Amino acid sequence: MLGTIVNTITIITGTLIGHIAKKGIKEKYQHVLFNAMGLAATALGFNAVSNNLPKSEYPVLFIISLSIGGLAGTILDIDGRFKKLTSRMGASNLAQGLSTGILLYCIGTLSIVGPVMSALYGDNTYLFTNATLDLITSAVLATTYGIGMLWAAPVLFLWQGGIYMLTMLAGDIIPTPLVTEISIVGGVLIAASGLSILGIKDCKAINMLPALAVPMLFFLIKSLFR
């Protein structure tokens, strides 16, 4: 769990640094950082899709995942509920920041494979690398969205900690093809968040979060019929 703990601490540290720095940054410069974050999220999302889609054994699965997940999220109104929750914290756009941050921190090869490598071999290289990236990302996000971005830290801890414990109990049960499919779907959601930040299109990426569960269910059902 050392790698996950370090990763969580770096997000907290980066957020605090960004929050403190925000007080000394003029509004017009904050706007520049806001656009930079939107462009970065869009680029990272498209990069995740382009890198993983050629490796996919089920190239249509991400389309089905986004469709089913988007419908489920819209019916449950995850976006609306999340915005109401964050608005109580006094930040109107915190929901957008948290959804983007959580996706950037949690959905990716480093954050999924990292806990598995840590649990099986005690190798925290992936997680330490992820922690370094998250330190920078969290600082930039906090300059845009403020101290409320701290809430992303416990989400990351539960995500990576859950993968770590599952691996410790059941062994290496997360197949590489599943990581690929989750990375594709996650990449689309990250890009969607970037487009929303830039004001190009409000894709309501939060409503599509259930899409991440569809590849997991697919591989679970598939394993039952072997």
pLDDT digits (tens, 9 = 90+) for 33-66: 878 888 988 998 899 899 999 999 999 999 999 9
Task: State the angle between helix axes of 94-106 and 125-145 in degrees (0 to 180), rounded to the nearest 10.
Answer: 170
Q: What is the mean pLDDT of the chain?
A: 88
Closest residue by Cα to residue 160 from 212, 209, 119, 214: 119
Query: In this predicted model, what pLDDT tens digit does every residue of 162-213 receive, in sequence order?
Result: 999 988 887 767 788 998 999 999 899 999 988 988 888 888 888 998 999 9
d(CA 223, CA 155): 28
Closest residue by Cα to residue 1 from 156, 174, 186: 156
Number of domains in the chain: 1
d(CA 110, CA 115): 8
d(CA 40, CA 59): 25
**Token pair 């469709």 is at which residue?**
67
pTM attached to this predicted model: 0.82
Domain that holds residue 10: 2-224
